[in-house]
């Protein structure tokens, strides 16, 4: 039997092998500044660009033509863009607000959402419940009910709070929420229920521990000094006690909703040093999470892939660690202090990662196999498939088109580059 998906990927691999900096869009830094985020519409017809100087730019990614500039989309840096469907999208900003836009009427916002008290850094959307989820440097994760949206905004509630919050993501099936922090923690809310209000200290805590790359993933080893005192705020506002952390896990089989797991992901060569998890992405099939980590001395950066571990723990007294380090690669730490946003390809076989003044296409092996087909026993290096350089400044963000063989990247000086096959 022939697997059509594999045949299709063979063709796509050939296309990516021929990819070049085919078209580059040069944009004036005098008006919009650095490019912080890129987002394609689900049908691939529009590429949106989040800019440092309050602007959002829209392009036709096929013709590379400029469609529209939202010159005063916000009053401060635009950080992230998220499409809710093919016409509606949301933007968030350092001005603490979120704005909703309609591609059919870009002269005015659909509405502006107020609720955060500091910079809003990323947006997620649950297509099942039509709930918008945002997170910011105030440590809050806020839920917005877009079903009842008016010109004055949407009903909202604070869902979760943690210190040092950097990024928040939902798995594709919205069954888990992952939150990364600048203190090196990765928080996972299992069996996610966004409709259930989480009061401070009301969520069940699973054991805080370090992820591992060894085959013995069920050991009960401590995560070191970080195991006591997580970034999560409790009702007594003190650190997590050992009694709290040793509470047995009920996540497998009849687990409570919104159970919280606190992890300290292993980073090669960084066992005894703090890490800042700056970028967080999810595999499109929900198999793994992709992290960009920097050392506490900011002299190293790593791109790491962690496989989700499912099933009941072997030892009941110690819950199975949900993540296992499978692949990693050291990155060029150029442009210190800036966050570099990486991404998976739509089929999950490739990773596009900012690397100095360009991007690297990375695979799990030299053949760009599926992750499940090449899982190593120990953490293995990601394989560099191709390097693409067309910028004259540090690349901050990159994105695959969901429908075409095209990659976009944006840099600190404001240039957007599009890469597609050339024959």
pLDDT tens-place string over residues 54-98? 899 999 998 888 889 998 899 999 999 999 999 999 999 999 999
Full set of structural domains in the chain with CATH? 19-209+258-421 (2.130.10.10)
φ, ψ of residue 214 in degrees (nearest 5): -85, 170
Q: What is the CA radius of gyration of the chain?
A: 21
Tell me the sheet residues that pair with 135.
122, 141
Q: What is the mean pLDDT of residues 367-383?
A: 90
How many angstroms separate the Cα of 284 from the Cα of each of 14, 22, 344? Answer: 21, 26, 7
Helical (H) or strand (E) element with 17? helix 4-17
What is the reported pLDDT for 32?
80
Cα-Cα end-to-end distance for the chain: 31
Single pTM value for the model: 0.83
What is the reported pLDDT for 154?
85
- Highest mean pLDDT range out of 206-210, 225-229, 254-258? 254-258
Asked whether 157 and 142 are in contact (CB, 8 A), the reply is yes
Tell me the sheet residues that pair with 159.
none
- 3-state SS track over 115-176: CCCCCEEEEEEECCCCEEEEEECCCEEEEEEHHHCECCECCEEEEEEECCEEEEEECCCCCC
Asked whether 187 and 178 are in contact (CB, 8 A), the reply is yes
- Highest mean pLDDT range out of 53-67, 146-160, 209-223, 263-277? 53-67
What is the reported pLDDT for 337?
79
- DSSP class of residue 109 equals -
Tokens 């730490």 map to which residue? 333
Asked whether 341 and 353 are in contact (CB, 8 A), the reply is no
CA angle 17–18–19, rounded 5-degree value: 95
How many angstroms separate the Cα of 135 from the Cα of each of 110, 154, 160, 263? Answer: 20, 16, 9, 19
pLDDT tens-digit readout, 221-231: 333 323 323 44
State the number of CA atoms in the 13 A half-sphere of 182 facing the CB: 13
Query: Which residue in 351, 183, 232, 212 sits closest to 281, CA to CA?
Result: 351
């Amino acid at each position: 039997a022939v697997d059509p998906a594999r045949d299709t990927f063979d063709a796509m691999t050939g296309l990516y092998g021929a990819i070049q900096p085919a078209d580059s869009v040069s944009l004036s830094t005098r008006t919009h500044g650095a490019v912080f985020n890129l987002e394609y519409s689900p049908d691939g017809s529009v590429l949106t660009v989040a800019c440092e100087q309050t602007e959002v730019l829209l392009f036709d990614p096929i013709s590379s033509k400029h469609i529209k500039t939202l010159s005063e989309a916000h009053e401060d840096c635009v950080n992230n863009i998220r499409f809710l469907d093919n016409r509606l999208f949301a933007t968030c900003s350092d001005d603490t607000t979120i704005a909703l836009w309609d591609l059919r009427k870009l002269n005015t916002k659909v509405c502006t959402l107020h609720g955060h008290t500091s910079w809003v850094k990323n947006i997620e959307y649950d297509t099942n419940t039509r709930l918008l989820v945002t997170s910011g440097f105030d440590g809050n994760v806020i839920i917005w009910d877009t079903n009842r949206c008016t010109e004055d905004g949407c009903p909202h509630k604070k869902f979760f709070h943690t210190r040092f919050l950097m990024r928040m993501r939902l798995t594709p099936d919205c069954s888990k929420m992952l939150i990364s922090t600048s203190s090196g923690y990765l928080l996972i809310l299992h069996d996610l229920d966004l409709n259930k209000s989480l009061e401070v200290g009301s969520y069940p805590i699973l054991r805080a521990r370090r992820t591992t790359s060894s085959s013995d993933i069920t050991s009960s080893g401590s995560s070191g000094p970080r195991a006591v005192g997580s970034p999560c705020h409790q009702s007594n506002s003190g650190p997590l006690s050992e009694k709290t952390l040793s509470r047995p896990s009920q996540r497998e089989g009849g687990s409570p909703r919104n159970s919280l797991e606190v992890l300290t992901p292993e980073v090669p060569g960084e066992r005894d040093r703090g890490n800042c998890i700056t970028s967080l992405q999810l595999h499109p099939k929900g198999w793994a999470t992709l992290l960009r980590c920097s050392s506490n001395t900011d002299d190293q950066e790593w791109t790491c892939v962690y496989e989700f571990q499912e099933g009941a723990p072997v030892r009941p007294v110690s819950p199975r660690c949900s993540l296992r380090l499978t692949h990693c690669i050291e990155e060029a730490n150029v442009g210190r202090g800036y966050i570099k946003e990486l991404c998976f390809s739509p089929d999950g076989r490739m990773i596009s990662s900012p690397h100095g003044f360009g991007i690297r296409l990375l695979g799990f092996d030299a053949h760009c196999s599926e992750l499940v087909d090449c899982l190593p026993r120990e953490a293995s290096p990601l394989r560099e498939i191709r390097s693409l350089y067309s910028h004259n400044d540090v690349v901050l963000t990159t994105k695959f088109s969901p429908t075409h063989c095209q990659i976009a990247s944006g840099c600190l000086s404001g240039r957007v580059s599009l890469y597609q096959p050339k024959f």
